Structure 1
Amino acid sequence: MATLTQTAFQALEPGKAALPLLTFEQFSLPPSNQRVLGAPHAEGTTIPLALRPSNPDGAELELDTVIETIKSLQAQGGILTKKLSQHGALLFRGLPVHNADDFSKFAHAFGYKPRYIIGVVVNRPEMAPNVAPANESSKDLTISMHNESDEVPHAPEYVFFYGHRVAKSGGETPMASSLELFRRVQQEIPDFIAQLAEKGILSRVTYKVDKQSAGGSTLKQAFGKAFQDGDDAATKRAKIEAQIRRYGRGAHTTWEWLDGGVVLTHRLPAIRTQPGTNLPTLFTGLAASTRIARARVSSRQDTSQQLFGDGTPIPDEYLDRLKEIADEIRVLHKWQRGDVLVYDNVIAQHGREPWQGEQADRVIMASLFDGEQVPGAYNDEDWAQVVQALDG
């Protein structure tokens, strides 16, 4: 059977002896790319856990071999999923992944359920099964640390990124532990955590018929997957509202129609708990709400706003210190072509750094999946409960 060690991975085939599939070895990255996590993680735990295939005989590595090894490991109680729950992120380097189709096959080998995206705020045109561009916004834009889809109720549990084309300068992907972030913020600004726990947040997201920014989504891309040629305005509106109701949160998700669009307001928990451990995790993108971040987007229309759950503004001093802590505990992944990063989105945040050169110099693809469980509620309030999207 395959095991996650620095020795050979092995899997049993029916009617045959145990055959070696693939050997992975753990390796170290520069300190700017990898760090030892603080509490509540176990001593010596790194982010990311870096893995690469060991191929001593020099034979060409086949993607099918990689896929069968991943499937074998996952069949043994979800070995890789457990590693994700410990480290928050895995880096696979040196794989025979060369395009969107290869990436799709690799990501699907983990056995997770592809996520049906509702209310996407960035344009995600499909490039291969469950594969889309990670983000097509301007290369000059910094994307602050966040958990994927923190601004809407239905967030993926697992996020895969593939470096198809990498910038020569810049374009790193930051990563940090949401568990460690919660612990640090609770220690340093406990009143902030107390208010988040008591009130949650109000997330207001605006969707317009026309795209609002480079890489952003339109109303049709966000909620119009069921549109058909010939639908009139009333039919389209009904189909959009049916998609919104799939969030499954009743009165805690409301909407208001505007000229040329709709504004959704979600009351959401910014603190959730990790399935299996019940450790609190700061599940948020509030670092994008600091004064500096707001100034960066002043030249374009911002599509989202986050307040305390009672509608009051979150003090700037809280947001500024939150971002400082997130930056203190993050590492920057310097991409090599073909790298695949896998995030446990419940306990790990990511972002994006600007890069030099042309927009097309950096192409990162993403694949999003649901897990078996959603992150748990930190308290018993009805608004703090999150669920998977309802079947359409």
Structure 2
Amino acid sequence: MGSIEPAPLFQVANYGPAVNLPEPYPGNTTFPLALSPSNQNTPLTELTQEISHLSKAGEIQKLLKTHGAIYFKDLNLKDVDEFSRFAHAFGWAPHEDIGNPVRRTVLAKNVATANEGPNTQPVYPHNEFGLSPHFPAYVFFYCISAPTSGGETPINNSIVLYHHLKERHPEFIAKIEEKGVKYQLFYPNTSRTQTTSPGNSVLQAYGTHVLDTDDTATARSKSKRRSEDCRLRNGCDLRVWQHLPAIRTHPHSGLPSFFNNTISRFLNALAADTLLPPHINKDGKYQPPVFYGDGELIPRKYFDSAVEIIGETRSLVTWKEGDVLLLDNLAVQHAREPWVGKRVLAASLWNEA
């Protein structure tokens, strides 16, 4: 387990869902590391001051390099405003949310809903914004309301996943490192204020600088400048092809990370029965998995192995109201399990200052 020196206001805590990471991490590396206030009655002001001190001293970054994730247990944050204060205490730079195909509702300063999809639908393992060239370094999740049952946030280590995939399928890793991956994203061209779908519209995803007074050509030009490679279909919807690296080197550990959203795309296509051409789902819509960067379909066996490795090494983070999970996005993937009852998580995305 990790330790903090000095850290009079926080202590390493036991946390049932934590697991030990396998190679390439040293033995007995706890994932996630759990920290809790030494005194449950410590005011938030003092806790945020301590977090600020630990972050400036590099202690938080050291723990993230060692463990990949930190679960702040028994924080008892009362609302999203207190969560916002807690997240800001780390002193990092807020991440600008550009191109996100998932709609989020802003709840407080640099805080939004984590995901607004139905509670019956799982979210599969992915790195936050792993299908974008513009991604955050750190992801916070805050539990506003815990579910009656289910609703865990599974997390798995992307560095572990790379290591074990390379052991099992070196040819796959070599090919994906050479060619990268290619995704297609879909944005319905609905209004900026549309709220009936968990999906983002064109304006919500790319239209930060688009004005209601802009003509169609101007709005389209501004939106395209915010994306990497896009085209319009039927004059109304935006389909974006993203050609990106699938493997990135972690800037602090120097270790390679399986950083992408390929597994999520695979599992969604598997559930929709669209793994094979023509990739048309039951609603008649094009729902492809992910391809190598040259457009070649990636064989299913590699993703079956990835899912198996994740199942063997992941932690199922369970939630208590007021607690916070901090992820190093380049080292950790996250997912979402279905749940019963009311469950609300808020998210906050940050980059290094």
So what's the TM-score if we normalise by structure 2? 0.91
Superposition map of 1:378-389 within 5 A: none
State the secondary structure of the residue aligned to 2:209. coil
* Amino acid in structure 1 at the alignment position of 2:343: R
Q: Tell me the alpha carbon deviations over residues 342-379 of structure 1, each in whole angstroms, 9 at most, x when there is no partner.
A: 0000001110000123xxx000000001125xxxxxxx
Residues 1:116 and 1:292: Cα distance change in structure 2 (over 3 Å): closer
Q: Is the 8 A contact 2:250 2:331 kept in 1?
A: yes
- Where structure 1 has 5 or more consecutive residues not aligned to the other structure, the ranges are 10-21, 245-252, 373-392
1:132 to 78, 93, 112: 112
1:284 to 230, 244, 260: 260
Superposition map of 1:207-286 within 5 A: 207-210=187-190, 214-244=197-227, 253-259=228-234, 260-286=236-262
2:98 counterpart of 1:118: yes
* Amino acid in structure 2 at the alignment position of 1:263: R
Q: Is the 8 A contact 1:289 1:319 kept in 2?
A: no
Q: Is the 8 A contact 1:8 1:24 kept in 2?
A: no
1:256 Cα deviation (Å)?
A: 1.1
Q: Is the 8 A contact 1:119 1:223 kept in 2?
A: yes
Q: Is the 8 A contact 2:187 2:199 kept in 1?
A: no
Residue of structure 1 in register with 2:12 after alignment: 26
Distance in 2, Cα, partners of 1:262 & 1:26: 47
1:277 Cα deviation (Å)?
A: 2.6
Tell me the C-alpha RMSD between the 2 structures: 2.1
State the secondary structure of the residue aligned to 2:291. strand
* Amino acid in structure 2 at the alignment position of 1:142: P
Residues 1:291 and 1:84: Cα distance change in structure 2 (over 3 Å): closer
1:291 Cα deviation (Å)?
A: 5.8
Residue of structure 2 in register with 1:71 after alignment: 52
Q: Tell me the alpha carbon deviations over residues 126-162 of structure 1, each in whole angstroms, 9 at most, x when there is no partner.
A: 1111100000101111111111111111111100000
- How many aligned residue pairs are there? 340
Greater relative contact order, per chain length (Cα 8 Å cut-off, separation 6+): 2
Determine what percentage of the aligned residue pairs are the same residue.
37
- Where structure 2 has 5 or more consecutive residues not aligned to the other structure, the ranges are 274-280
2:282 counterpart of 1:306: no
1:340 to 304, 310, 324: 324
1:303 Cα deviation (Å)?
A: 6.8
Q: Is the 8 A contact 2:268 2:289 kept in 1?
A: no
Residue of structure 1 in register with 2:181 after alignment: 201
* Amino acid in structure 2 at the alignment position of 1:171: G
Distance in 2, Cα, partners of 1:312 & 1:50: 42
1:302 Cα deviation (Å)?
A: 7.1
Superposition map of 1:351-390 within 5 A: 351-357=335-341, 361-371=342-352
Residues 1:306 and 1:290: Cα distance change in structure 2 (over 3 Å): closer
Distance in 2, Cα, partners of 1:222 & 1:128: 19
State the secondary structure of the residue aligned to 2:150. coil
2:166 counterpart of 1:179: no
1:109 to 89, 98, 111: 89
